[in-house]
Structure 1
């Protein structure tokens, strides 16, 4: 597996562990529909909201911030996948779209930022 893929998988696990530490229930990881994917689908600790989380991991943020990689094309892709998930699973709860950025390469040097309600895919059209 390429180094950037390993870093991404580690980042997604780190983000999932972080969310679980906050009391979130992880419903799905790496959920796919065709070539589109959602990194983490979770339910908030109070059980009222389904959260679609995009995880961006970088070894450093010298060139660009990790959340800058969540552009309009990516937002539309996540929105499409989330809409499919909602319809397939019959979700009637509130939904939210978050971004978790991780800068670092292991648990000892990672800096995590959780951006709650980072975007609304409905506004990306």
Structure 2
């Protein structure tokens, strides 16, 4: 399990760097709510972006984004509401994105950013 956790943490670092390089301001990482965790909360312009990061070593078991199910998205929506309430953020546009990271055996990680999945 530790190797899987290390891959996930690496993927979150890659996703954070990827988003920062594209003008996103990361506000929170690994925020724990009452029923789960939000990987990243960021802001770009007037939009608050909640980001689910999925990382895999390859695509033998499918693309990483395929692991984001309807149930997972419903949990992310609930947690987003909790994050907004906890942080007393003024009402603004909110979007949920998925950043899929594939870490091959050699070479750089591949990143795919899916915007507005909900």
Q: Displaced runs of 4+ in structure 1, greater than 2 A?
A: 105-109
Contact 2:57 2:105 in 1 (8 A): no
Query: In structure 2, what is the equivalent of residue 49 of structure 1?
Result: 47
Which consecutive residues of structure 1, in runs of 5 or more, have no partner in the other structure?
A: 120-125
Say which SS state the counterpart of residue 85 (structure 1) adopts: helix
Which consecutive residues of structure 2, in runs of 5 or more, have no partner in the other structure?
A: none
| 1:36-95 CA distance string (max 9 Å, x none) | 111000001xx2000000000000012211111100111111111101011222221110
TM-score by length of 1: 0.87
1:113 aligns with 2:112: yes
Cα distance in 2 for partners of 1:26, 1:106 equals: 28
Cα distance in 1 for partners of 2:111, 2:19 equals: 11
Cα distance in 1 for partners of 2:13, 2:28 equals: 12
User: How many residues are aligned here?
Assistant: 117
Cα distance in 1 for partners of 2:21, 2:55 equals: 19
Which region of structure 1 is more displaced relative to structure 2, 69-78 or 98-107?
Answer: 98-107
Which region of structure 1 is more displaced relative to structure 2, 65-74 or 49-58?
Answer: 65-74
Contact 1:25 1:42 in 2 (8 A): yes
**What displacement does 1:35 show?**
4.0
Say which SS state the counterpart of residue 60 (structure 2) adopts: coil
Query: In structure 2, what is the equivalent of residue 122 of structure 1?
Result: none
Cα distance in 2 for partners of 1:48, 1:107 equals: 38
